[in-house]
């Protein structure tokens, strides 16, 4: 009986130590490519966040790569496709290009349309992480985010449907290789949630954002789509998978 109690205490202590260590050392982001083509992930750290070890790299089919992020890190990830880089690492991409003319994005974000995975990592007295997959800037390839968490409701989110195949003609980009948001395509305030439409009370889902939401119910479909699109977790590591269920 004494041995059993000691074992139980040991497990509790181990969990406490694990959570404590995660809070100090940060978390791990792992990128996996399950597409049958090359993907060039882009990384943008928010102002004030300690940058990750890369801002852009190549990831072949079946490959994975991991990075450590410090507590309090926030930023976004996306996949670039159709990239061509020369021996000096200079070039551009068909979708998700960051405009740096290099494989590294060097502080530049994705040119819409691009599927975005967004994170805010907790720290100190606010240990809770927030994460989402957003189609607010359009869509270029399927992405899923999985959390291997210690505590909290650590749900899987993403957009695993190939929206390029169902993209309306007026939203198509790059010969059908990406799908614009209505804001990007038309620029109207009611689609962009700007001007007099710049609040949750005045900006509502459009027929286009509803199409995105129907196909990918856990993803952000427009600016104020918070209730069903933001996920939380504490003490987790995260895997960002491109083409998580199938290849194209």
Q: Which residue is listed with tokens 């505590």?
A: 151
What residues pair up with 134 in beta bridges, in sequence order? 116, 220
3-state secondary structure at position 85 = strand
The model's pTM is 0.87
- Say how far apart CA 27 and CA 127 lie, in whole Å: 12
Separation of alpha carbons 151 and 173, rounded Å: 41
- Could you tell me the CA-to-CA distances from 150 to 21, 61, 142 in Å, in that order? 12, 30, 26
The residues pairing with 68 across neighbouring beta strands, listed in sequence order, are 28
How far apart are the C-alpha atoms of 129 and 123, rounded to whole Å? Answer: 8
Longest dimension (CA), the chain: 70
Do the Cβ atoms of 140 and 114 come closer than 8 Å? yes
- Domain extents in the chain: 26-242
Q: Into which CATH architecture does domain 26-242 fall?
A: Sandwich (2.60)
Q: For position 154, what pLDDT does the model report?
A: 86
The distance from CA 86 to its chain's CA centroid, rounded to whole angstroms, is 27
Report the distance separating Cα 154 and Cα 129, nearest Å.
Answer: 9
Which pLDDT does position 98 carry in this prediction? 97
CA dihedral 248, 166, 211, 137 (to 10 degrees): 60
Give the pLDDT score at 97.
98
Q: Are 47 and 91 in contact (CB under 8 A)?
A: no
pLDDT given at position 227: 84
What are the CA-CA distances from residue 114 to residues 50, 68, 85, 140, 190 (Å)? 24, 24, 19, 5, 21
- Splitting the chain (248 residues) into consecutive groups of 10 residues, what average pLDDT does each group show? 43 39 71 97 96 97 97 97 92 97 96 98 92 97 90 83 96 94 97 97 96 96 91 94 74
């Amino acid at each position: 009986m004494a041995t059993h109690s000691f074992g139980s205490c040991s497990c509790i202590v181990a969990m406490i130590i694990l959570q404590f260590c995660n809070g100090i050392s940060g978390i791990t982001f792992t990128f996996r490519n399950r597409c049958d083509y090359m993907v060039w992930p882009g990384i943008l750290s928010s102002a004030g966040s300690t940058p990750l070890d890369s801002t852009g790299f190549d990831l072949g089919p079946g490959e994975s790569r991991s990075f450590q992020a410090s507590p309090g890190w926030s930023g976004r990830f996306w996949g670039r496709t159709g990239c061509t880089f020369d021996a000096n690492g200079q070039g551009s991409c068909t979708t998700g290009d960051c405009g740096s003319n290099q494989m590294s994005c060097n502080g530049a974000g994705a040119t819409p349309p691009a599927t975005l995975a967004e994170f805010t990592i907790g720290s100190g007295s606010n240990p809770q992480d927030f994460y989402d997959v957003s189609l607010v800037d359009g869509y270029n390839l399927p992405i899923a985010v999985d959390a291997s968490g210690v505590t909290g409701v650590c749900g899987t989110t993403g957009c695993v449907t190939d929206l390029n195949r169902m993209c309306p003609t007026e939203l198509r980009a790059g010969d059908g290789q990406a799908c614009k948001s209505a804001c990007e395509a038309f620029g109207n305030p009611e689609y962009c949630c700007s001007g007099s439409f710049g609040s949750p009370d005045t900006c509502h889902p459009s027929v286009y954002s509803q199409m995105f939401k129907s196909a990918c119910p856990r993803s952000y479909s427009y600016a104020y789509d918070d209730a069903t699109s933001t996920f939380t977790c504490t003490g987790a590591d995260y895997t960002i998978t491109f083409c998580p269920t199938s290849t194209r």
